Amino acid sequence: MRLLILGLIAASLLLAGCSGSKTTGCKDNSGCKSWQYCNTTGGTCATLAGYCDSDLQCTDNMTRCDLERTHLCIYKEGQCRTNANCQGWQVCDSAQACRPAPGFCDSDSQCDPVFEFCNPSTHKCGPAPGYCVADTDCDSWKKCDIVSKRCYMLEGRCDLDGDCQTWQTCEIKTHVCKPKVGFCINDDNCPAWSKCDLVTQKCIARQGYCLADNECNEWEYCGTTTHQCTPSKDRCGSDSQCGKWQICDSNHYCSAKAGSCDDNADCVQGEVCNQATHACQ
């Protein structure tokens, strides 16, 4: 009796291992996977007819069980009996293997080794990255040299800073060479009071304007707001830049006119300079 019980247990385990993936506790098909049904007699999920849960359930040795997605027997990669068993760009050859159809490829060796590669998206031979047969094979900021079959950069465009002039930097978003801080390509890159020096590629002051004090006369400074040379305190370039009682002397100082004064030193002994009238009294 003991041996009989042990035999029944072993048989049960064997049957469970051969019947496919099962789970206990189902009452109807809703408790099972889409590729299973509920065996209500035993309350277990079993594999539906036409589906599989192991390669052993696929009778054709060219197929395997698609456990990842469908639980259907599918042809093993690269194997076939008809073209329908291959991908759209393949045909089934006499050796029952899927190979590229005419005009398609599955490796770079099937393409021109000089400038082509097998495009993994289209499975067709085409220009390798950086190579071309037409402008459309290049990025929009490049053109195709049909002799060398290489894409070259349009003027002023870039991929890296090294594609630009030393005074420029590459704006990666637009692939345009832009001037570094303090440099310019043209007058549009400069403030209104300045222009672009195309030799140094730097903004310089226009005629009548200044960028620094050393661009003015020694008796002037460069106004930070107006960028114009402005006389320093008590200095001048003409009489109009002095008080009405003054003249602009040869040293570019505003000095009191004859009969007028700036301070007591301009008056004779015993008189003082009236600061309201600038007259000696």
Q: Does residue 66 form part of some domain?
A: yes
Report which of 143, 141, 146 is spatially closest to residue 158, judged by C-alpha positions.
141
Residues 222 and 205 occupy one common structural domain = yes
What pLDDT, on a 0 to 100 scale, did the predictor assign at position 169?
96
**223/244 same-domain check:** no
Phi then psi for 31, rounded to 5 degrees?
-90, 5
Give the domain extent around 125: 107-154
Q: Is residue 63 part of a domain?
A: yes
Do residue 225 and residue 252 come from a single domain?
no
pTM over 0.95: no
E strands present in the chain: 36-39, 44-47, 63-65, 73-75, 90-92, 98-100, 116-118, 125-127, 142-145, 150-153, 168-171, 176-179, 194-197, 202-205, 220-222, 229-231, 246-248, 254-256, 273-274, 279-280
Q: Is residue 170 part of a domain?
A: no
How far is the C-alpha of 31 from the C-alpha of 43, rounded, in Å?
Answer: 10
At residue 88, the pLDDT reads 93
Q: What is the mean pLDDT of each run of 10 residues along the chain (281 residues)?
A: 40 39 73 92 91 93 93 91 93 94 96 93 92 93 94 96 95 96 91 93 92 93 93 92 92 91 90 92 87
Q: Does some domain include residue 266?
A: yes
Residue 23 domain-assigned (yes or no): no
Residues 244 and 276 in one domain: yes
pLDDT at 5: 37
Residues 259 and 224 in one domain: no
Q: How many domains does the chain have?
A: 4
Residue 225 and residue 256 share a domain: no
Tell me, yes or no, whether 92 lies in a domain: no
**Residue 58 within a domain:** yes
217 within a domain of the structure (yes/no): yes
pLDDT at position 24 is 55
